[in-house]
């Protein structure tokens, strides 16, 4: 059982949107799907580091999703989370923390849904031994998420620049 300072096993096993996992303990997860447990632990190491620096409550909204047809949640490599105290543009802080951590081998998506909404998706080991880091922002456009590389401009600034306020 991993020993995270800021998260319990239940927060990972029973996130806000569990999508199909019926396992009750971490031990059960390790026995049944050791690769999933291993992957979740690897990604959670990074989430724990972020949480440590961020110093604000973080809620895990999604982790292992055995009912997904594909993608990193199916294999336990991804964690979604959000900030609980409604700090505006809190994902910018998370990006900043990650840019200053000496970590590689992760992707992070800011799933942008407005000033106070949205969540962060982080996954690791997405391309074996790539060692690459990717920062993306997803915008809702005509009901579809469009993903772009993070270029230092927040969605708010972008909207202001475009004059669509
Ligand atoms: Zn996700």
The CATH number of whichever domain residue 42 belongs to comes to 3.30.1380
Does residue 3 lie in a domain region? no
Residue 72 near residue 59, CB atoms below 8 Å: no
Residue 131 predicted with pLDDT over 70: no
| 58 occurs within a structural domain | yes
Taking the centre of ligand 1 as the mean of its atom positions, its distance from the CA of residue 78, in whole angstroms, is: 6
For residues 146 and 157, what is the distance between their CA atoms, to the nearest angstrom?
17
Q: For residue 67, give the DSSP letter.
A: T
Q: How far is the CA of 163 from the centre of ligand 1 (A)?
A: 31
- 6 CA to centre of ligand 1 in angstroms: 20
Confidence category of residue 18, pLDDT binned at 50, 70, 90 = confident
Tokens of 63: 């982790």
Number of domains in the chain: 1
Q: How far does residue 109's CA lie from ligand 1's centre (Å)?
A: 8
Q: Is residue 31 part of a domain?
A: yes
Provide the 10 A C-beta neighbour count for residue 72: 20
**121 Cα: distance to centroid of ligand 1 (angstroms):** 4
Q: Which two tokens stand for residue 67?
A: 């009912």
Query: Could you tell me the pTM of the whole model?
Result: 0.90
Query: Model confidence over 138-148: pLDDT tens digits?
Result: 887 788 888 88
> 46 CA to middle of ligand 1, Å?
15
Coil vs helix vs strand at 62:
strand
Q: Residue 107's domain spans which residues?
A: 9-162
Nearest CA to 30 among 70, 1, 56?
A: 1
Please give the pLDDT value at position 164: 57
74 located within any domain: yes
């Amino acid at each position: 059982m991993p020993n995270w300072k800021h998260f319990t096993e239940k927060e990972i096993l029973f996130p806000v949107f569990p999508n199909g996992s019926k396992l009750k303990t971490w031990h059960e997860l390790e026995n049944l799907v050791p690769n999933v447990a291993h992957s979740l632990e690897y990604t959670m190491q990074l989430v724990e580091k972020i949480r440590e620096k961020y110093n604000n409550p973080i809620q895990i909204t999604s982790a292992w999703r055995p009912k997904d047809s594909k993608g990193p949640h199916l294999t336990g490599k991804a964690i979604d989370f959000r900030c609980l105290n409604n700090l505006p543009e809190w994902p910018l802080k998370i990006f900043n923390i990650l840019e200053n951590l000496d970590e590689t081998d992760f992707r992070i998506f800011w799933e942008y849904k407005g000033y106070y909404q949205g969540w962060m998706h982080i996954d690791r080991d997405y391309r074996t031994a790539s060692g690459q880091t990717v920062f993306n922002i997803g915008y809702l456009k005509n009901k579809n998420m469009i993903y772009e590389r993070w270029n230092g401009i927040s969605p708010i600034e972008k909207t202001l620049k475009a004059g669509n306020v």
